[in-house]
Amino acid sequence: MDKDELLFIRMGGKEKPPLIVTELEAEGFHVFKARDPLDGIVHARRREFRAVLLDLSGFQKRERQVIRALERVAPQANFFALLSPACAGQNLDLEQSGIRNILQEPYKVSDLVTLLDQDHQRPDDFQAGSPSRSVIAEVPRRLSPRSLDLLRLWTRDLSQDLANVEEILTLTLELPRKELSANRASLFLVDDDSQTLVAKRWEGLEKDVDPKSLRIRHGAGIVGHVAQHGIPVLVHDLEHEVLFQPTAERKYQSRSFLCVPILHGNKILGVLCFTDKTDGSAFTEAERELVQGHAEQAAAFIENAHQLKRMETLSIVDQLTGLYNRRYFESCLENETIRAKRYKRFLTLALLDIDNFKNFNDSHGYLRGDLALTGVAKILQQNFRKTDIVTRWGGEEFAVLLPETEKPDPSKKNAAFHFTERVRRAIEAADLSVEGGENVRITLSGGVATFPTDTLEKDELLAKANVALKKAKTSGKNKICIFGADDEK
């Protein structure tokens, strides 16, 4: 943070910044000028400012929420309210919003500089972005002792299973919903691919609404607005709310609506929404602060669970081909064998190997060899079923588990033979062009064995599939051999 960088935000009223902004620039301060509060939040997320100057000439009560949002995204900054004589009587309201430094016209640069020099920074462990900050340390300071106790209890509940993102999402919605006595609630998460909000948890929606189909664009309605700007919205009366009118088909029992962003640092993960309190009353500022504190805590747990999921995925996926790796295959082989035994089902295993791959690498280089491997992996994914487990066994060898698939019979063209033979033909026909325009053709050999037809043990299933693969290799390659079959093709 540059000690001479300030952020000026126009909350309404005058189109031009007051003279003090020009004077501050003349004194050597670098003043970033925001067009409106939302633009100010964007600036505050991107940089750390020594101070935030709020021009409150057109201050409205609803903008207290904006001020609190600014406090969350710029916790290191000192806030100053610039008041004209017409709004000087709102000092008490500003103090309730957390602003202690108030300057009235005529503004004096010397007064502002003096206040800045007197500013005592928070301890380092409470600075924005510090890794030593605790979850509770991020909760707004206005929370009551009871609210803090609730947050501690909810944090304990959220921490029961750090890797279970589904349970964390359920608790993120249900814990505050029950405390608020809200009959209707929903939790949306941001879909990074489509940049829309997708409903993940819900309660009390109309019977004709399919929650799984609910997608909301950023900026659309209350939910989209909160996701786009990261500002909580508390509406006391929907019928008199100009910006956020509910659609005609949504029948709300109460007029109050609470919507809070789920923020992890500056990243918006999703949105929490509540309405229809059991007693019909409106949500309060204290309840908004409670839910906001909970959302900040829950965001850390959600992001942590997603990170653990990503790490788990990396541990079971081959980084070159994107297929599952051998570690995951061995786990699946054991589990699928147990399941096949219990339910008396078939389980077919196919081992596939690229023919003469060492020669390919020697002729075209290992980089082209890697491209060939990824090309084969793509063909495998396209030609096997979603229920099949396609893995890179090692090097140029692949293993595929086909649950509930009987022993292949080339004469009958049944499921297992159909898939393995189709893959062999697809790879044989594939055009793998290398540098210089040369078209390269590769072929594939495979060996197949089936539980329980060939064996009742997983290790033997693997060994017999390997026997069939070796037979395919020694009998001309570019073929699929079935263990125990007299007529392999």
Structure tokens at 475: 């009998």
Amino acid 126: pLDDT: 32
Chain segment 39-70, per-residue pLDDT in tens: 777 677 677 788 888 877 655 555 566 676 67
Chain segment 119-167, per-residue pLDDT in tens: 544 333 333 333 222 233 333 446 788 888 898 899 889 888 888 889 9
Q: Does 110 lie in the same domain as 220?
A: no
End position of a domain, from candidates 75, 99, 126: 126
Secondary structure of 247-315 as H, E, C letters:
CCCCCCCCCCEEEEEEEECCEEEEEEEEEEECCCCCCCHHHHHHHHHHHHHHHHHHHHHHHHHHHHHHH
Q: Does 94 lie in the same domain as 156?
A: no
- 34-37 own/partner pairs: CB under 8 Å, 24+ apart: 34/7, 34/8, 34/9, 34/10, 35/10, 36/9, 36/10, 36/11, 37/9, 37/11, 37/63, 37/66, 37/70
The least confident of 117-131, 236-250, 455-469 is: 117-131
pTM, full prediction: 0.54
pLDDT at residue 477 is higher than 70: yes
Whether 402 is covered by a domain: the verdict is yes
Whether 433 is covered by a domain: the verdict is yes
Closest alpha carbon to 398 in 430, 366, 440, 350: 350
Whether 321 is covered by a domain: the verdict is no
Structural domain boundaries, residue 238:
145-312
Amino acid 238: pLDDT: 66
State the average pLDDT over residues 399-423.
78
Q: Does 231 lie in the same domain as 89?
A: no
Percent of the residues in the chain that have a pLDDT greater than 90, as a whole number: 28
Which band of pLDDT confidence, cut at 50, 70 and 90, is reported for residue 249? very low
Q: Does 345 lie in the same domain as 415?
A: yes
Whether 133 is covered by a domain: the verdict is no
Whether 320 is covered by a domain: the verdict is no
Answer with the residue of higher pLDDT: 116 or 227: 227
Give the domain CATH number at 296. Answer: 3.30.450.40
Chain segment 197-226, per-residue pLDDT in tens: 888 898 887 665 666 667 888 778 788 888
Percent of the residues in the chain that have a pLDDT greater than 70, as a whole number: 76
State the average pLDDT over residues 371-383.
90
Q: Does 155 lie in the same domain as 122?
A: no
Q: Does 340 lie in the same domain as 430?
A: yes
Q: Does 376 lie in the same domain as 450?
A: yes
Answer with the residue of higher pLDDT: 101 or 296: 296
End position of a domain, from candidates 312, 344, 378: 312
Q: Does 254 lie in the same domain as 300?
A: yes
Amino acid 433: pLDDT: 56
Closest alpha carbon to 272 in 154, 181, 189, 204: 189
d(CA 86, CA 55): 13
Amino acid 136: pLDDT: 32
pLDDT at residue 231 is higher than 60: yes
pLDDT at residue 115 is higher than 70: yes
Q: Does 216 lie in the same domain as 293?
A: yes
pLDDT at residue 274 is higher than 60: yes
Give the domain CATH number at 16. Answer: 3.40.50.2300
Q: In sequence order, which ranges of 317-389 are alpha helices (DSSP H)?
A: 326-343, 357-364, 366-383
Q: Does 111 lie in the same domain as 182?
A: no
Amino acid 63: pLDDT: 57
pLDDT at residue 416 is higher than 50: yes
Closest alpha carbon to 72 in 5, 155, 142, 138: 138
Q: At what angle do helices 326-343 and 285-316 cross, to 10 degrees?
A: 90
Amino acid 397: pLDDT: 94
End position of a domain, from candidates 76, 99, 126: 126
Q: Is the previous residue joined to 106 through a cis bond, with omega within 30 degrees of 0? A: yes
Whether 317 is covered by a domain: the verdict is no
The least confident of 74-78, 126-130, 393-397 is: 126-130
Q: Judging by beta carbons within 10 Å of its beta carbon (0-12, 13-18, 19+), is residue 242 exposed, middle or buried?
A: exposed
Whether 393 is covered by a domain: the verdict is yes
Across all residues in the chain, what is the average pLDDT? Answer: 79
Q: Does 104 lie in the same domain as 62?
A: yes
How many domains does the chain fold into?
Answer: 3
- Could you give the 3-state DSSP secondary structure of residue 83? strand
Give the domain CATH number at 395. Answer: 3.30.70.270
Element spanning 394, H or E:
strand 389-394
Q: Does 280 lie in the same domain as 150?
A: yes
Amino acid 467: pLDDT: 95
Whether 137 is covered by a domain: the verdict is no
Amino acid 141: pLDDT: 44
State the average pLDDT over residues 448-456.
93
State the average pLDDT over residues 332-344.
92
State the average pLDDT over residues 74-80.
76
The least confident of 3-17, 250-264, 384-398 is: 3-17
Q: % helix / strand / coil in the chain, to the nearest 5?
A: 45, 20, 35
